[in-house]
Amino acid sequence: MKRLEEALEIERERYKREQVPEQFKRKVEIILENLPEQKRRFPSWTRRLVAAAAVLFIICSMIYFQVPGKMGGILKQAFNSLPRKGSEGNKEEIKKVALVEGENIYHPVVFTNYRNEKGEFSKAQVLGGSKDGKWFSITDFNIVGKYTTDADFQKPMEKDFINYVDIDLVKGNEVYSFYSNTKLIGKSKGGKSILTIPPANGAKLLEVQTNSFKADDDFLIGINGQWNGMPRVPEGLWRPNGYSVDLDNDGTEESVYPEMVNGKGRVVIDKKGDKILIQEIAKVHVDDTKGLKIRLVDINGDGNMEIIIRESFYYGTIVNAYELVDNQVKKVLQYSNCE
């Protein structure tokens, strides 16, 4: 740069000596005037580095703020989970990453039939979950906690101790959409898993506390997922606990109802007169609207509606979920706190 300046200075002297026309002199002056500014510029490699950093920053900003839906949620959660100075590890943060905006990858299914003293629903029982077309039971998961085995439960438990456990099926902070027999009631956020083992059958059962809410029904199914749990709306039949809806979306409505055959109670799917047995039930429940409940909800998000049957006895509750595939009924999830 300095050499160029000197060269121009020499040229300028030469112009003076040789009586160069005014317009050429002016050109030299302009070049010389602009020299200090040129000197201030960064070398080219620095400029490239700054430009590359700027482009990278813009791309990251776009991803962080503008990518819609799940991906945006994942990135935000991942960003939020970065260890912060002064925080004690990031175990809690990692757990949050597994949940994208209240959604657990195992899509837990819960039911509730318990009202608190204010008449509101504030806790729910876990029925199981599903992921990538597979059904999951509580027993498919590792459970980590203070009391997790039959033997543990023989030990004395502290007063007011709540047996929170760590299990991938329900991490806490899941948002559940609760459905009644014919509609979506609303959404409620659930807490961490609480493990119980009823002595009657030794089964591992999970309960979650939920934000309390009111409903004009007394048996609700909660799903954790973005899909519509009631893609087709069941219509009540004239008989108790009977509903009609196109369960498997094949264009034909199925009726689901309890009936008595040969002295035995059962729930059937009636496909225009062709009956498919779903489950045998207690005789007393056939005409009973309190002990028996039937709900039709898509609990795994495949567009087909599952049949959830609850039988309630003085000594406990049994809830089974069935799916209808190719006119075959298959039990997919179950809950029982009695024999």
Using CB under 5 A, list all residues that contact Ca ion.
246, 248, 250, 252, 298, 300, 302, 304
Instruction: Name the minimum Å distance from CB 47 to Ca ion.
Output: 58
| CB proximity list for 7: less than 8 A, separation 6 or greater | none
**Judged by CB, which is closer to Ca ion: 217, or 253?**
253
**Closest distance to Ca ion from the beta carbon of 248 (Å):** 5
| Alpha helices by DSSP H, the chain | 2-17, 22-40, 44-66, 69-80, 91-98, 150-154
User: 126: which residues sit within 8 A by CB, 6+ positions away?
Assistant: 108, 109, 110, 138, 169, 170, 193, 205, 206, 207, 208, 335
Query: Least Å distance between CB 211 and Ca ion?
Result: 26
In the complex with Ca ion, which residue's Cβ is closer, 20 or 329?
329
- Apex 39 CA angle, 38 and 42, nearest 5: 90
Cα separation of 275 and 169, whole Å?
35
Cα–Cα distance between 207 and 169 in angstroms, integer? 12
The dihedral built from the CA positions of residue 92, 93, 95 and 99, taken in this order, carries a sign that is positive
In the complex with Ca ion, the residue whose CB is nearer, 197 or 332, is 332
Nearer to Ca ion, 104 or 300 (CB): 300
User: Shortest gap between Cβ of 80 and Ca ion (angstroms)?
Assistant: 32
Q: Can you tell me which residue has the tokens 């609700």?
A: 220
Q: Which is nearer to Ca ion, 148 or 300 (CB)?
A: 300
Q: What are phi and psi of 266, to 5 degrees?
A: -160, 160
- Toward Ca ion, which CB reaches closer, 147 or 178? 178
Question: Chain-centre distance of CA 323, in angstroms?
Answer: 21
Residue 129 CB, shortest distance to Ca ion, in Å, is 13
Shortest Å distance, C-beta 338 to Ca ion? 27
Q: Which is nearer to Ca ion, 252 or 289 (CB)?
A: 252
- Check residue 193 and report its DSSP letter: E
Pairing of strands 109-112, 220-223: antiparallel
CB of 198 to Ca ion, least distance (A): 28
DSSP 191: -
